[in-house]
Structure formats: structure tokens, C-alpha cells
């Protein structure tokens, strides 16, 4: 039961969608197309591959490579260092703040407070100590400076005075989700390969069902037979 309890809503949705897609394509293959997928619709099963990509991306998120990163916790007042911009798409960005716990200087970790984290601590008393958990790795932190600045990603922020958790980024590795999503993707790939195999295995042209009908013999008019012309002579002429 613990295995099932770890499955989130998106995993359950993608699993149900995978089962529906597989059943639909198999029903089409055996009922509508009589066991052979038509060549002109061979691109339709590509939807199975597209669904596999969605499952794989979510499986990678559930695997979370940051689970292996050191999670370092520091408590103190926050000192802003400078604003930074980070990309959220090809043509858009957001603004956050690079901050330190305590005074910024040599050897003091510089941390990324993205737009979400900045909004959560904005308006609070700056003298209040916060407990900040950040990852051991550093990443490039400002697209406007050619990524010359690096900082640690923040994954947790707690208000030390009240104990309230302001920010939590899940870096846990959820193996049940990974296993289920990879199984969904594998099922979709198998169905895709099977449909393509049925497409390659035969067609109307190979079965001879579309061969031209046998040419009917042309009756010889009596007037021509009376002239001594037989069928072979007509063919030569």
C-alpha cells in the first residue's frame, strides 16, 4: 500500500491515459483494420511515442537527480546581494534575488531566491532569522551577465520565529512513480512497435487483392470471322 500511496495525481492520470491509448489502438487494429494497420495511417500510432515522452519526462522529475546533492541548512538574517534574472522559456525570464545568510563575503554561500521565494519573504521583518536549506551544487545564476555568477539553489525556507515553512521544493526520489511511469512508456512503445509490425507485415498490394482483374476476352464479330480473321490476327493488327 505504501507503493500506491506514493503515486501522485499526474502519475495516475498518465497511467490511465496510457492504458486507454493502448486499448484504442489494439481495438482499431483488430476490429476496424482487420489485423493490419493501413499504410496511409501509419503515422497515427506516433501518439503512443508522444505519450511515452510525457511519461519519461515525469519519470525523470520523480527520479530527481538533486536527491544525491548535499542539503545544507543555515539559520540567520538574510542579506541581499543583488538581483538576478533567470530564464523560464525561450523568450521570457523572471527576477529573483541573490542573498546570503549573514553578511556576504568570501566563503559565504550565495543563494538563489527565485521569484517565488522572493515573494514569500518580501514584506517580512528583515531582522527575523530564517532557516534556509540549499543544495551543495551551484548553478549559473544570471542570464544578463553571461552566466558569470553562480549560486546555490534554495529548496526550503522556514521562519525560525514561528516555525512556519514558507518554501519547500521536493527533492525526494520517488521510486514508485519512476517504476510505474517507465512501465507506462514501455507499454506504449511495445504497442507502437506491434502496430508498425502489422503494417509492415502485409498490405493489400502484397495480398494481391488489388490486382487488376483478368482482361476479358473480346468477342469476335461474325463479320470479321467471315473474312478469315481470327483472334490472333486481330491482336497483331
- For 88-121, the pLDDT digits (tens) are 877 889 999 999 999 998 889 999 999 999 999 8
Torsion (CA) 111, 113, 117, 120 in degrees, nearest 10: 90
Q: Which of 71-75, 106-110, 186-190, 202-206 has the weakest average pLDDT?
A: 202-206
Cell numbers for 117: 521565494
| Spatial distance between the Cα atoms of 75 and 128, rounded to a whole number of angstroms | 10
| Spatial distance between the Cα atoms of 122 and 113, rounded to a whole number of angstroms | 11
Name the residue with cell 525556507: 157
For residue range 20-48, list pLDDT tens digits in order: 999 999 999 888 888 888 888 888 999 99
pLDDT band at residue 228 under the 50/70/90 scheme: low
The structure's pTM equals: 0.72
Cell numbers for 95: 527576477
Please count the other Cβ atoms lying within 10 Å of the Cβ belonging to residue 181.
28
Cell numbers for 229: 480473321
In 3D space, the residue among 156, 116, 102, 111 whose CA is nearest the CA of residue 132 turns out to be: 156
pLDDT at 208: 45
Domains belonging to the chain, first-starting first, are 2-64+174-207 (no CATH), 67-168 (2.40.50)
In 3D space, the residue among 54, 4, 18, 1 whose CA is nearest the CA of residue 174 turns out to be: 4
Please count the other Cβ atoms lying within 10 Å of the Cβ belonging to residue 40.
7
Contact call for residues 99 and 127 (beta carbons, < 8 A):
no
Amino acid at each position: 500500500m505504501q507503493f500506491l500511496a506514493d503515486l501522485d495525481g499526474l502519475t495516475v492520470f498518465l497511467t490511465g491515459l496510457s492504458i486507454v491509448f493502448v486499448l484504442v489502438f489494439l481495438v482499431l487494429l483488430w476490429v476496424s483494420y482487420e489485423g493490419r494497420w493501413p499504410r496511409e495511417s501509419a503515422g497515427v500510432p506516433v501518439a503512443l511515442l508522444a505519450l511515452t515522452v510525457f511519461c519519461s519526462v515525469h519519470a525523470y522529475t520523480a527520479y530527481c537527480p538533486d536527491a544525491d546533492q548535499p542539503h545544507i541548512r543555515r539559520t540567520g538574517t538574510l542579506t541581499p546581494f543583488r538581483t538576478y534574472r533567470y530564464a523560464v522559456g525561450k523568450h521570457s525570464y523572471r527576477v529573483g534575488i541573490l542573498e546570503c545568510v549573514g553578511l556576504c563575503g568570501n566563503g559565504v554561500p550565495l543563494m538563489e531566491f527565485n521569484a517565488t521565494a522572493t515573494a514569500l519573504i518580501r514584506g517580512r521583518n528583515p531582522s527575523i532569522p530564517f532557516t534556509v536549506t540549499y543544495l551543495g551544487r551551484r548553478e549559473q545564476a544570471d542570464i544578463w551577465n553571461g552566466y558569470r555568477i553562480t549560486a546555490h539553489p534554495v529548496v526550503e525556507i522556514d521562519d525560525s520565529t514561528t516555525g512556519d515553512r514558507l518554501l519547500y521544493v521536493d527533492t525526494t526520489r520517488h521510486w514508485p512513480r519512476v517504476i510505474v511511469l517507465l512501465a507506462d512508456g514501455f507499454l506504449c512503445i511495445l504497442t507502437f512497435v506491434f502496430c508498425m509490425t502489422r503494417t509492415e507485415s502485409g498490405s493489400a498490394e502484397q495480398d494481391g487483392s488489388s490486382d487488376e482483374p483478368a482482361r476479358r476476352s473480346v468477342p469476335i464479330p461474325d463479320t470479321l470471322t467471315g473474312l478469315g480473321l481470327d483472334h490472333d490476327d486481330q491482336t497483331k493488327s
